[in-house]
Homo-oligomer: A and B are copies of this chain.
Amino acid sequence: MTDYTATVTVRLKRGVLDPEAETTKRALERLGFELDALRSTDRYELDLVAESEDEAAERAGEMAERLLANPTIHDYEVAVERAEA
């Protein structure tokens, strides 16, 4: 068994409105910054013990499906790496 860190990135699907990001963009513009677009994503770093990288990725994917992402409005990506000792 090995320690892994699985990173689950959850972002809104294209076309889903993101009022929070829009508000943040406008607040930056009011501060004088120029930017064309702002997207926000949530990342979860999960420390877990698994037999293999594939098993860690599979479990993290299930956690995304069950809780971390809402499949109606979110896409998610899973990346796994061995935890630093």
Contact = CB atoms under 8 A, between A and B. Distances in A.
A52 to B, nearest CB: 15
| Max count, chain B CB within 10 A of own CB: residue among A39, A42, A49 | A39
A7 B40 CA distance: 9
Contacts of A78: none
A31 interface: yes
Count the copies. Answer: 2
B38 A41 contact: no
Contact of A34 (B28, B48, B66): B48
A22 interface: no
A45 interface: yes
Interface in A12-47: 21, 24, 27-28, 31, 33-47
